[in-house]
Amino acid sequence: MCKLYIIYLENNIRSDGMNPVAFYVFGFSIRWYGILIASGMALAISLLQYTCKYRNVNYDFLLDVVLISLPVGIIGARLYYVAFEFNNYRNNLIDIFDIRGGGLAIHGGILFALICAYLIAKRKKMSFFKMADVTAPTIIIAQAIGRWGNFFNSEAHGGPVSYNFIKKFPYFIQQGMHIDGIYYHPTFLYESLWDLIVFVILMIILKNTKKVGIVFFSYIGLYSIGRFFIEGLRTDSLMFGSFRIAQMVSLAGILIWIAYLILCKYKKIRYKYKMYP
């Protein structure tokens, strides 16, 4: 099955990268970008049934929260991207609503979705961090799958590389990263693999500790570490002046994670010496 899929990929390579269109329905193109993002979301929702058991979270309630937060997150991801690339939409505002060709920023999506989930949890008097703990591994696995949508769109890649470098990768990756006669860093692949590693780590933490918040903040920190370095290789970063926005946000994420770990350690010391009420 895997061999057949690779053959299919190789047959869908164009001179300027991968063919972004999977198939047509009544003349309307269905793109791989949307298929892969939807697949990642579907897997995440299915996995929630399993992760909820580790924090005693009601799956049905959490599913309601997710189904509300998901569209809010997609809107946030698009608004975040457009805000920093507005010059590309200034003369044709209708293109803001066309997301099939890409243009979703994960940081914006996560931010908006988390704010939405927090407000719902607060209103229903539920533990936001318990929900965040069981949701974090599902988010990162969805990201790992969604990154392949960038591959089919021939975007989110790094700078030029030599053939001697790219030949170390599977043939369909080599060809997909061969755009207009130039080979590029498959940074989408780096991030996808990093996300899979983070997913495994988060699942181990979720299974082996009951400390509320530890999985969620570890997701923020670990994802941010990988994203910071991978972003430095990319050629299409959102910029704020001369700074890469994703790297700035990643640094903030790492600092938040470290601050949480220090706070946990401080509380543990206070409890040990009976100073903690």
List the chain domain ranges.
Answer: 2-8+34-272
Helix spans in 85-127 (H): 106-124
DSSP 8-state assignment for residue 1: -
Rounded CA separation 199/80 (Å): 25
10 Å CB burial of residue 262 (0-12, 13-18, 19+) is exposed
pLDDT at 60: 94
The pLDDT of residue 271: 47
pLDDT for 16 beyond 60: no
Average pLDDT of the segment spanning 209-214: 93
Q: Could you tell me the end-to-end alpha-carbon distance of the chain, in angstroms, rounded to an integer?
A: 58
Q: Is the pLDDT of residue 234 over 60?
A: yes
Mean pLDDT of 162-179: 95
- Rounded mean pLDDT of 113-136? 95
Q: Name the pTM for this structure.
A: 0.89
More confident site: 165 or 272: 165
Query: pLDDT-derived band of residue 274, with 50, 70 and 90 as boundaries?
Result: very low
Whole-number average pLDDT of the chain? 90
Cα-flanking dihedrals φ and ψ of residue 144, to 5°? -60, -40
Mean pLDDT of 106-127: 95
Evaluated on CA atoms 90, 96, 99, 103, the torsion sign reads positive
Tell me the pLDDT tens digit for each residue of 31-77.
Answer: 999 999 999 999 999 999 999 999 999 999 999 999 999 999 999 99
pLDDT tens readout for residues 140-153: 999 999 999 999 99
**Residue 15 confidence (pLDDT) above 70:** no
Q: What is the pLDDT of residue 14?
A: 55
The Cα–Cα gap between 185 and 161 comes to 6
How, if at all, do strands 182-184 and 17-18 pair? Answer: unpaired
User: Which positions ≥6 away from 133 have C-beta within 8 Å?
Assistant: 54, 55, 206, 212, 213, 214, 215, 216
Q: How many CB atoms lie within 10 A of CB 107?
A: 21
pLDDT digits (tens, 9 = 90+) for 71-107: 999 999 999 999 999 988 988 888 888 887 778 999 9
pLDDT for the residue 266: 79
User: Tell me, what's the pLDDT at 267?
Assistant: 74
Q: What pLDDT, on the 0 to 100 scale, is given for residue 276?
A: 38
Tell me the C-alpha distance between 260 and 199, whole Å. Answer: 20
Contacts of 1 (CB under 8 A, 6+ apart): none
Distances (CA, A) of 19 to 22, 30, 52, 194, 215: 8, 11, 38, 25, 37
Which residue has tokens 């299919």?
8
Residues in Cβ contact with 84 at an 8 Å cutoff, skipping those fewer than 6 apart: 105, 238, 239, 240, 245
Cα separation, 81 vs 108, whole angstroms: 8
The closest of 17, 13, 44, 9 to 150, measured between CA atoms, is 17
* More reliable by pLDDT, 156 or 225: 225
Residue 11 is predicted with a pLDDT of 53
Neighbouring CB atoms inside 10 A of 92's CB total 9
Q: Tell me the three state secondary structure of residue 195.
A: helix
